[in-house]
Amino acid sequence: MTDHTFDLVVLGGGSGGYAAALRAAELGSSVAIIEADLLGGTCLHRGCVPTKALLHTAEVAETVRRAGTVGVEATLGGIDAAAARAWRTKLIDGKHRGLSSLVAARGITVVTGRGVLADADGRPAVAVGEDRWIGTDVVLATGAVPRTVPGVEFGGRILDSTAALALDETPGRVVVLGGGVIGVEFASAWRTLGAEVTIVEALDGLIQNEDPSSSAALEKALRRRGIALELGARVAGATENGEGVTVSIEREEVTSHIEADYLLVAVGRSPATGELGLDTLGIDTQRGFVATDDTLRTTGAHVWAVGDIVAGPQLAHRGFRHGAFVAETIAGLSPSPLDDALFPRVTYSTPEIASVGLTEPQAIAAHGSGRVVVQEVPLSSNAKTEIVSAGSTARSGFVKVVALDGGPVIGVHLVGERVGELITEGQLAVAWEAHPADIAPLVHAHPSQSEALGEAFLALAGSPLHTM
Ligand code: NAD
């Protein structure tokens, strides 16, 4: 057995883990990352990056379809799903090389192998085979894995999101189980690429952690785009025979069946905490997630946890922040406290949904209905929106700002094409506790979609320009 000693040992090289490693190295620590697969983790190889690339392929196809509306003669010859996948692979390989170079340039040691926690005479360590990587501190950053429901097993034509991204074809008919972010993004991309799509969701609406106005607008838009929604329905089971899948759906005790080429299961992701040896270091879990205090310290001495294994929104950028936060805390700095409500959330469907802060019902629950004011501005009257969405069958969407009466902005909710890029302004407003009157005089560029946000702030400040 060989022991290797570092200031920080990070288990998992995804968004949370590599961010912790980079920041710790920048702050002068010696750092090792233990990674079973590839640096970059789910987000780079199987999540955020390839799904956004798939959605971009769909967007380009849609742009060609709509070209005639804006006077460009173009015909969509077809979709080459294998070529689209090859492009995604090349893109990911390039980003992986860039990340690996950055990690090497910071002097970080990367160990390829599956690690388990070990106790090195009172110090936390990660064992890989016969070697032990001992840290003054250890960061757990092992992420999350797709889960399924009883009666539905992954394999063959029953896909998790990783298998869905590996397809070299666009499904002709597909059932998507789960109307959360993953389900909606795949449904949106595949529909644009020509598939017949049905989303089956147990709750009464899609993306239920978003503001009800955003969920309702998304449902309407997806229906108009020809996506079938089976809401308030559960998948009771699915069988596949190599050529197709039969999906059994239950609603109010009535069972029906849908035939499809594939079933995508997107009912959430479970924290990857099994087989890590958490007990060895006295690390507690709650509902499978690693239990931490507000500074991401676990119950194990000098062991921290970041990203999707910590209960809360599973977002790559939350992982980045967690990683940097822990590295700074270990270095004795005092980073700003973490607040899950301040991470921007974007669902990259058509239309996009973006939000930050509290939804209207959350604001009312927290502050009482008498104190909450809301301003909605439709994007239909926004010139830039009309230009970029020319030929679209979806409605143009809206911006919605939630504020306290005479007080700060506490939530921003956006629906529409490309609105994900606008949410940063909402994030600054909510995080800096800006009052609408602080932002109202800051005129927004014309023509831009951000003008709709400017208009909402103007209206809340009592000086609307275009709204009534
Ligand atoms: P999710 O929790 O967002 O949605 C899962 C949905 O499945 C829920 O609406 C749930 O009600 C439904 N469901 C569960 N069991 C069901 C059943 N038996 N029958 C029918 N419906 C059922 O999970 P997800 O979409 O798998 O995403 C996993 C995580 O990854 C989320 O935290 C998500 O935010 C994150 N993610 C984020 C992005 C992004 O930020 N753009 C993209 C992809 C994934």
Distance 315 CA to ligand 1 centre (A): 12
Domain boundary among 244, 267, 290: 267
Average pLDDT of every residue of the chain: 96
Q: How confident is the model at residue 1 (pLDDT cuts 50, 70, 90)?
A: confident
One domain for residues 275 and 300: yes
Residue 184 identity (one-letter amino acid): V
One domain for residues 279 and 305: yes
Q: How high is the pLDDT of residue 422?
A: 97
Distance 182 CA to ligand 1 centre (A): 6
One domain for residues 299 and 329: yes
446 part of the active site: yes
Residue 177 beta carbon below 6 angstroms from any ligand 1 atom: yes
Q: Hey, whose CA ends up nearest to atom 30 of ligand 1?
A: 314
One domain for residues 374 and 394: yes
* CA angle centred on 128, ends 154 and 39, rounded to 5°: 60
For the chain, what is the domain count?
3
| Residue 211 clears pLDDT 80, i.e. is over it | yes
* CA angle centred on 263, ends 258 and 266, rounded to 5°: 120
- Mean pLDDT in residue range 47-72: 97
One domain for residues 46 and 141: yes
| Residue 456 clears pLDDT 90, i.e. is over it | yes
Residue 229 lies in a domain: yes
- Mean pLDDT in residue range 70-83: 97
Which residues contact residue 110 at a Cβ distance below 8 angstroms, ignoring those fewer than 6 apart? 13, 32, 33, 35, 39, 100, 103, 104
One domain for residues 58 and 110: yes
> What is the CATH classification number for the domain harbouring 456?
3.30.390.30
Residue 59 lies in a domain: yes
Report whether 183 belongs to an annotated binding site.
yes
Residue 78 lies in a domain: yes
Q: 351-401 pLDDT, tens per residue?
A: 999 999 999 999 999 999 999 999 999 999 899 999 988 988 766 799 999
One domain for residues 228 and 334: no
| Residue 320 clears pLDDT 80, i.e. is over it | yes
Residue 236 beta carbon below 6 angstroms from any ligand 1 atom: no
One domain for residues 412 and 436: yes
- Mean pLDDT in residue range 337-349: 97
Q: Hey, whose CA ends up nearest to atom 43 of ligand 1?
A: 182
Residue 20 lies in a domain: yes
Report whether 400 belongs to an annotated binding site.
no
Distance 340 CA to ligand 1 centre (A): 17
Q: Which helix (H) or strand (E) holds 19?
A: helix 15-26
Residue 314 beta carbon below 6 angstroms from any ligand 1 atom: yes
* CA angle centred on 186, ends 349 and 380, rounded to 5°: 15
Q: 21-39 pLDDT, tens per residue?
A: 999 999 999 999 999 999 9
One domain for residues 202 and 315: no
Tell me which residue range forms the domain holding 199. Answer: 158-267
Burial 125-154 (b: 16+ CB within 10 A, else e): bbbbeebbbbbebbbbbbbbebebbeebee
The pTM score is: 0.97
Residue 151 lies in a domain: no
Q: 165-189 pLDDT, tens per residue?
A: 999 999 999 999 999 999 999 999 9
Distance 179 CA to ligand 1 centre (A): 6
One domain for residues 260 and 276: no
List, as one string, the DSSP characters of 129-173. TTEEEEEEEEEE---EEE---TT---BTTEE-HHHHHT-SS--SE
Q: How high is the pLDDT of residue 464?
A: 83
Measured CA to CA in angstroms, residue 436 lies from 117, 151, 282, 339, 414 at distances of: 50, 51, 48, 22, 17
Residue 152 lies in a domain: no
Residue 17 beta carbon below 6 angstroms from any ligand 1 atom: no
Q: Hey, whose CA ends up nearest to atom 4 of ligand 1?
A: 180
Q: How high is the pLDDT of residue 337?
A: 97
Phi, psi (degrees; rounded to nearest 5) at 144: -140, 160
Q: 134-176 pLDDT, tens per residue?
A: 999 999 999 999 999 999 999 999 999 999 999 999 999 999 9
Q: At what angle do helices 48-66 and 181-192 cross, to 10 degrees?
A: 30
Q: Which numbered atom of ligand 1 lies nearest the CA of 269?
A: 28
Domain boundary among 203, 232, 267: 267
* CA angle centred on 21, ends 354 and 97, rounded to 5°: 75
One domain for residues 254 and 188: yes
One domain for residues 355 and 253: no
Residue 465 lies in a domain: no
Residues of the chain above pLDDT 70, percent: 100
Report whether 194 belongs to an annotated binding site.
no
> What is the CATH classification number for the domain harbouring 248?
3.50.50.60
Q: Hey, whose CA ends up nearest to atom 3 of ligand 1?
A: 180
Q: How high is the pLDDT of residue 395?
A: 67
Domain boundary among 340, 359, 379: 340
Q: How high is the pLDDT of residue 203?
A: 97
Whether 269 contacts 144, CB under 8 Å: yes
Q: 415-435 pLDDT, tens per residue?
A: 999 999 999 999 999 999 999
Residue 468 lies in a domain: no
Q: Which of 182, 203, 215, 219 to probe ligand 1 with, by most ligand atoms within 8 A of CB?
A: 182
Q: 241-277 pLDDT, tens per residue?
A: 889 999 999 998 899 999 999 999 999 999 999 899 9
Residue 355 beta carbon below 6 angstroms from any ligand 1 atom: no
Distance 265 CA to ligand 1 centre (A): 9
Q: Hey, whose CA ends up nearest to atom 26 of ligand 1?
A: 268
